[in-house]
Structure 1
Amino acid sequence: MQTHLYLVRHAHSDYTPDEKSRPLSPKGAKDARKVAVVLSKEGVDRVISSPYKRAIQTVEGISREINPEINQWEGFRERLLSTGPVADFQAAVAKVWEEEHFAFEGGESNQQARARGVKEIKKVLQQYAGERIAIGTHGNILALILSHFDSCYGIEFWRQLEMPDIYCLSFDGLELKNVRRIPLGAKAI
């Protein structure tokens, strides 16, 4: 019996310094409707999300369709790069990917963020074995989780992720058997 986890990178949001309550942009809201349609066709059983508003909003359409409750799991939040602003975001992300144990002041290293994300994945697999679960999350933590299972998922993978993006991870117990990207199609519903 396989468990299928649909890691959903949130749709586009307009930048604000308030990470937790940053909402989707109008484009992001339109794209979130595509996510609901696609996940509906996948037969998703339940929805979990990062507690960040943009991640919740990206998966709330499928949640309303199957079960209005979205379980918020703190471990699926985006990796904290630093407690303060960084001068060059792309360079800062490159630095933490180059040095596995390096963290900016108050931030998480790749090792720390990956361990947090993988711990949550294992909890989901144990609690909801045999189900299809949509998980609203973020680009960096999604790439870090995947990199735990296969080193081909690194910074270049992260750079090519779209907003939104969906990757289905199929597990047999705790063993990852397959990863496939779920295309969203061209038209919003």
Structure 2
Amino acid sequence: MEKVIYIVRHCSAEGQAPEVELTAKGILQAGKLVEFFEDIEVDRIITSPFSRARQTGWPLAERKKLHVEVDSRLGERVLSSRDFEDWLIKLEDTFLDLHLKYEGGESSNEAISRVCDVVDELRDGSRTVLVTHGNLMALLVMSYDERFGFEHWQTLTNPDVYVVRIKDEDSEVERIWSTY
């Protein structure tokens, strides 16, 4: 039986901190996501605990008459506890070396492991929306499609939607937001 996961990057937000909220544009985008999912069957919505992710998922949950589940494993990956002027280069390096870990941060492998644990716990036949953040989204997609990398992360939009279909040991990944 096929498991279907819709990976949603949160809508436009006021910043990066966990408590920042969606911008006015982001609130409108969340409404567009509701329209986008109108004819798509969904049985669960699980979001990052960050405010912007929860605010992205709430309107869809309301329309689908579902409860928003919050899972800390969908929180954004912390690159480091230090601020780097060259953070973009450092981030790219973590896509090239999945074991690379900066002070106070999390390696790509560690982030992939925790988000894949969420996916592994989903039942066969489920159709789940995961609302998360760009870096974690990219790493999750990369875990199913090794061609996906830093360059693809750079092209992600707010919001963005990928679908992963998993059947037995096979998986298929497709960006579906760009077609909307």
TM exceeding 0.5: yes
Q: Indicate conservation of the 8 Å contact 1:4/1:168, yes or no.
A: yes
Q: Which residue of 2 aligns with 1:114?
A: 112
Instruction: Tell me the CA shift for residue 152 of structure 1.
Output: 0.5
| Partners of 2:106 and 2:35 in 1: CA distance | 34
Q: How does 1:93-104 map to 2 (within 5 A)?
A: 93-104=91-102
Aligned to 2:174: 180
TM-score, normalised by the number of residues in structure 2: 0.92
The count of residues paired between Structure 1 and Structure 2 equals 180
Consecutive unaligned residues of structure 2, counting only runs of 5 or more, are: none
CA contact (8 A) 2:144 2:173 kept: no
- Length-normalised TM-score, structure 1: 0.88
| Secondary structure of residue in 2 paired with 1:21 | coil
Report runs of 4+ in structure 1 exceeding 3 Å deviation.
Answer: none
Residue in structure 2 matched with residue 29 of structure 1 by the alignment: 27
C-alpha separation in 1, matches of 2:89 and 2:60: 35
CA distance in 2, matches of 1:148, 1:38: 25
Report what 2:125 is aligned to. 130
Match of 2:10 in 1: 10
Q: Is the 8 A contact 2:2 2:167 kept in 1?
A: yes
Report the Cα distance in structure 2 between the residues aligned to 1:113 and 1:35, rounded to whole angstroms.
26
Cα displacement (A) at 1:85: 2.0
Tell me how far apart the structure 1 counterparts of residues 23 and 90 of structure 2 sit (CA, whole Å). 25
Q: 2:39 is paired with a residue of what secondary structure? A: helix
Q: 1:7 to 1:108 in 2, by over 3 A?
A: same
Percent of pairs with identical residues: 29
Pairwise mapping of residues 8-87 of structure 1 onto structure 2 (< 5 A)? 8-15=8-15, 19-87=17-85
Aligned-residue Cα RMSD (Å) equals 1.7
- State which drifts further: 98-107 or 84-93: 84-93
TM-superposed CA distance for 1:184, in Å, is 6.2
What's the offset of the Cα at 1:162? 0.7
Contact 2:144–2:172 under 8 Å retained in 1? no
Q: Deviations over 1:35-82 (max 9, x none)?
A: 111122212122111111111111111101123521111111111111
